[in-house]
């Protein structure tokens, strides 16, 4: 049975950067990529220095190509199935039918976006329905915007979206009563509010053209910003990882979770979701994981040489 220092679950920016750092740290790494990236519908990836505007598949191709310089890093296109705790780490069953052992697990799977139950929404998600204005707002600035608010809290984000286009209409889809103070604020800022339900979104070749309301009224819009509900992948539940009040995996500054030996990084841990943020989190978690593994091995060698338990280390080291 193959044995690795770290099995990484997820082949996006977080997992790829973690593999790079661990590889450079001379650890034996297996990166498992199920081939279902969260940004699969996005045409371009923005806000990542030196890679601004790159198509996500090209980013992954370049990152994988650079990992080939490290023979201690292996990449497999497969899912991770069951994970069992065993002496010295974890036993991981993979979708390709093999089983491997790992001293640590690093999760970088992202989250699952739950598409709104509106005809046309899923088809337009990515090309003209966006979640993040920093990722996609520049390219569509000053076009006719729609914003889909799923609860009163999201109305507070309307002035932020308005930064990229003054031609903004907020749609509530009849989901909630608009508080009077928020209604007044939107009106004062010149942001129209549409509270009728949406019957369908219309467009061609992935490009939004009209929002059709329940009474048949059609409103011309070119772009929609929407933050759909998100859920964790099933593996998170199977591993028993603790979640916070918003449904994200509880992770410390270096990715540590409620299960010893498992760290989590990127979108699955925070609402601050961006490719460069996930890559940064993967880098930090990988470096700290590498340090822990090195010191663990050093303690073992010390005990073998001296026959004594390894002395405790000073805090901060």
CA distance 291 to 56: 31
Residue 109: its pLDDT value, please? 96
The angle formed by the CA atoms of residues 198, 202 and 207, to the nearest 5 degrees, is 125
Residue 305 makes CB contacts below 8 A (sequence gap 6+) with: none
* pLDDT-based confidence at residue 42 (cuts at 50, 70, 90): confident
Enter the pTM of the model. 0.93
Q: Where are the domains of the chain?
A: 4-113+230-306, 121-226
Of the ranges 21-25, 41-45, 120-124, which one carries the lowest mean pLDDT score?
A: 41-45
> Structurally, what CATH architecture does the domain formed by 4-113+230-306 represent?
3-Layer(bba) Sandwich (3.50)
Q: Could you identify the residue written with the tokens 């034996």?
A: 28
Burial (CB < 10 A; 0-12, 13-18, 19+), residue 224, is buried
Average pLDDT over residues 184-205: 97
- Give the CA count within 13 Å in the CB-facing half-sphere of 135: 23
Mean pLDDT rounded to a whole number for the chain: 95
pLDDT digits (tens, 9 = 90+) for 110-167: 999 999 999 999 999 999 999 999 999 999 999 999 999 999 999 999 999 999 999 9
pLDDT of residue 315: 61
pLDDT at 40: 84
d(CA 198, CA 68): 49
- pLDDT value at position 317? 40
Which CATH architecture describes the domain 121-226? 3-Layer(bba) Sandwich (3.50)
Burial class (CB in 10 A: 0-12, 13-18, 19+), 24: middle
For the stretch 286-312, pLDDT in tens is 999 999 999 999 999 999 999 999 888
């Amino acid at each position: 049975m193959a044995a690795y220092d770290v099995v990484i679950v997820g082949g996006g920016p977080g997992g790829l950067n973690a593999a790079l750092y661990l590889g450079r740290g001379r650890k034996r790494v297996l990166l498992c990529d199920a081939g279902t990236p969260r940004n699969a519908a996005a045409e371009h990836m923005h806000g990542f220095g030196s890679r601004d505007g790159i198509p996500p598949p090209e980013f992954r191709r370049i990152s994988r190509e650079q990992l080939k310089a490290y023979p201690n890093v292996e990449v497999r296109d497969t899912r991770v199935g069951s994970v069992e705790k065993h002496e010295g780490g974890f036993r991981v069953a993979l979708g390709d039918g093999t089983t491997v052992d790992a001293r640590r697990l690093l999760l970088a799977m992202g989250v699952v976006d739950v598409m709104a139950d509106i005809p046309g929404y899923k088809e337009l998600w990515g090309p003209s329905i966006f979640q993040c204005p920093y990722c996609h707002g520049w390219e569509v600035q000053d076009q006719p915007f729609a914003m889909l608010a799923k609860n009163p809290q999201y109305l507070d984000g309307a002035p932020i979206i308005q930064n990229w286009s003054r031609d903004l209409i907020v749609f509530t889809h009849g989901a909630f009563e608009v508080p009077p103070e928020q209604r007044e604020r939107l009106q004062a800022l010149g942001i129209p509010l549409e509270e009728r339900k949406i019957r369908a979104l219309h467009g061609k070749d992935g490009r939004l053209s009209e929002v059709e309301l329940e009474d048949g009224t059609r409103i011309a819009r070119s772009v929609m910003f929407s933050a759909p509900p998100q859920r964790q992948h099933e593996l998170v539940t199977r591993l028993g990882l603790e979640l916070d009040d918003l449904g994200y995996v509880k992770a410390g500054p270096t990715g540590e979770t409620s299960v010893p030996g498992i760290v989590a990084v990127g979108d699955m841990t925070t609402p601050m979701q961006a490719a460069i943020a996930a890559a940064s989190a993967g880098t930090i978690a990988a470096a700290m994981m590498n340090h822990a593994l090195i010191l663990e091995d050093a303690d073992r060698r010390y005990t073998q040489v001296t026959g004594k338990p390894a002395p405790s280390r000073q805090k901060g080291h």
